[in-house]
Amino acid sequence: MISRTGVATSGAMKPNIDPIRPTQSVVAWLIDNRDGVVLGAAVAGAIVAVMLVAKLIGQRIIARETDEQHLGWRSVVGRVLAKTSIFFMVMAAIDIVATYAQPPARAQHLVDVGFTIAFALQGAIWARELILALIARRVGDGTTESALGNANAIIRVLVSVALFALAIVVILDNLGVNVTALVAGLGIGGIAIGLAAQGIFSDLFAALAILFDKPFRRGDIVRYGTTTGTVEKIGLKTTRLRGVGGEQVIMANTKLLEQEVHNVTDARVRRTWLTFGLTYQTPSETIERLPDVITEPIEAIKNCKLVRCSATAFGSSSIECELVYDDRSRDPDTLARHKSAVILAVKRAFEREGIDFAYPTQTTFTAAPDGTMVMPYPQIQPVVALDKPVVALDKKAKESRKDR
């Protein structure tokens, strides 16, 4: 016979063997925890039902959205709700039931691990859809320009990789894996790649800056430095413009954004300055009436409106004047035609009013030996006085002929 201490009381020595504990069956566990299981199942069913309804609502919002509502807040919420996965719903229900039913420790650990994995992945999916929807709301969906579509595709890849990498790190950390070395390795690798491809990434981020900030779009007329052209393509590294002379100008995105860029297309009006000079013999009242003289001829041209016309300075040979008008046209050829029409209209108006344009002249004044001023133009009175001597000479010539 063997005692509890394993020492033989009688007979030969026998090995000490503990009795095997009988494990509780699932049926017995359900019977013992039926109240918690029923309550947990009810709560889990209600939560899963709510998530299913939200998922269906999100899918219906996406199906019914129009082009105007495609980037609205309702669409953003619908896209997030529609991405709720069934796997997350099931694991959430199991975790809720386990919370109320109090299963064995090993089963509870497995449920916690499964819920952590499901929640990390679902959180990455929700965050991805939310970020991409907000980006699409800010910059558009990229369907109108290939560059925007390419940039959106790169953004989707970067956001997806970053979020799911973070989810994997969270999962590994909850599984007991030491992720410190992994995170450090990823950081060092990212720094090395960034330094190696610094130029490429700078142009890429410049393209993303154009995507978000929208200083110009395809088809806009821009001017930077001495170059003016129409934007044909916004790439991930370069932007291509068609110059006014017909040549194609290729500029790196980084270099382009470092300069002062003038977006001519976004201008509400094109303001044009014309300078001209009037002779000093022009009456002051006429100079004051210049706006009244040219307002009607200029505004008769479509999309043109006079801003001002006034004297600006005393020139060396004229009174300098400035004519400013606004043109709502955007086409460069139309602007050139309107400018020519304005010049001709002003010239015709001045011809009707008898207003003379000044041209570069120079008057030289000289003095006689006695100091008197010699006028640079002939005097009228001395010319009239010359008629009498001429008449007297003619009389003397006739008398001499009679004597003969």
Phi, psi (5° rounding) for residue 374?
Answer: -100, 120
46 with 64, same domain: the answer is yes
H helical segments located in 175-232 = 180-196, 198-213
40 within 8 A of 30, measured Cβ to Cβ: no
Residue given tokens 């386990």 in the structure block: 98
22 within 8 A of 71, measured Cβ to Cβ: no
Question: What's the CA gap between 179 and 171, in Å, rounded?
Answer: 10
Tell me what pLDDT residue 264 has: 80
218 with 257, same domain: the answer is yes
115 with 221, same domain: the answer is no
> pLDDT (tens digit, 0 to 9) for every residue of the chain, 404 residues total?
444 444 444 444 454 544 444 445 656 666 666 677 778 788 888 888 888 888 888 888 878 776 555 566 777 788 888 888 888 888 888 888 887 777 777 778 888 888 888 888 888 888 888 888 777 776 655 444 555 556 667 777 778 888 888 888 888 887 777 777 777 776 776 676 666 556 666 777 777 777 777 788 888 888 888 888 888 888 777 888 888 778 888 888 888 888 888 888 777 788 899 999 999 889 999 999 999 999 999 989 988 999 999 999 998 889 999 999 999 887 778 888 999 999 999 999 999 999 999 888 776 777 777 777 776 666 555 444 444 444 444 555 455 555 55
58 with 93, same domain: the answer is yes
291 with 168, same domain: the answer is no
Q: Of 207, 79, 204, which Cα lies nearest the Cα of 134? A: 79
Handedness of CA 138, 141, 144, 148 (dihedral sign): positive
Q: Are strands 366-367 and 373-374 parallel, antiparallel or unpaired?
A: antiparallel
47 with 104, same domain: the answer is yes
CA angle 32, 33, 34 (to 5 degrees): 100
Tally Cβ neighbours within 10 Å of residue 334: 15
Residue ending a domain, among 220, 241, 263, is 263
Q: Of 320, 304, 226, which Cα lies nearest the Cα of 271? A: 304
Q: Mind listing the pLDDT tens digit for each residue in 302-360?
A: 889 999 999 999 988 899 999 999 998 877 788 889 999 999 999 999 999 999 998 88
Is residue 199 in a domain?
Answer: no
73 within 8 A of 138, measured Cβ to Cβ: no
Number of residues written out for the chain:
404
Phi, psi (5° rounding) for residue 403?
Answer: -60, -35
Question: What's the CA gap between 106 and 109, in Å, rounded?
Answer: 5
**Which DSSP symbol is given to 2?**
B
Residue given tokens 């100091």 in the structure block: 371
Tell me what pLDDT residue 147 has: 52
- Roughly what angle, to the nearest 10 degrees, separates helices 180-196 and 198-213? 90
Residue 297 belongs to a domain with what CATH number?
A: 3.30.70.100
Q: Of 119, 99, 107, 91, which Cα lies nearest the Cα of 40? A: 99
Is residue 376 in a domain?
Answer: no
213 with 308, same domain: the answer is no
* Domain residue limits at 172: 26-179
Tell me what pLDDT residue 348 has: 93
Is residue 395 in a domain?
Answer: no
Question: What's the CA gap between 160 and 132, in Å, rounded?
Answer: 10
234 with 171, same domain: the answer is no
239 with 292, same domain: the answer is no
143 with 70, same domain: the answer is yes
Is residue 160 in a domain?
Answer: yes
Is residue 367 in a domain?
Answer: no
Q: Which residues contact 375 (CB under 8 A, 6 or more apart)?
A: 365
Tell me what pLDDT residue 263 has: 84
How far CA 105 is from CA of 21, 97, 99, 112, 344, in Å, comes to 17, 14, 12, 10, 95
Is residue 46 in a domain?
Answer: yes
The amino acid that residue 91 corresponds to is M
Q: Within a 13 Å sphere around the CA of 232, how many CA atoms are in the beta-carbon half? A: 14
Say whether 7 sits in a helix, a strand or coil.
coil
Question: What's the CA gap between 235 and 253, in Å, rounded?
Answer: 8
Residue ending a domain, among 216, 233, 263, is 263
- Roughly what angle, to the nearest 10 degrees, separates helices 105-139 and 198-213? 70
Residue 219 belongs to a domain with what CATH number?
A: 2.30.30.60
In SS3 terms, 333-400 reads as HHHHHHHHHHHHHHHHHHHHHCCCECCCCCCCCEECCCCCEECCCCCHHHHHHCHHHHHHHHHHHHHH
Tally Cβ neighbours within 10 Å of residue 151: 23
170 with 46, same domain: the answer is yes
Tell me what pLDDT residue 114 has: 86
246 with 300, same domain: the answer is no
Is residue 82 in a domain?
Answer: yes
Residue given tokens 């100008």 in the structure block: 249
Q: Of 150, 155, 167, 189, which Cα lies nearest the Cα of 88? A: 167
**Considering the entire predicted model, what is its pTM?**
0.48
Tell me what pLDDT residue 30 has: 61
Number of structural domains found in the chain: 3
Is residue 337 in a domain?
Answer: yes
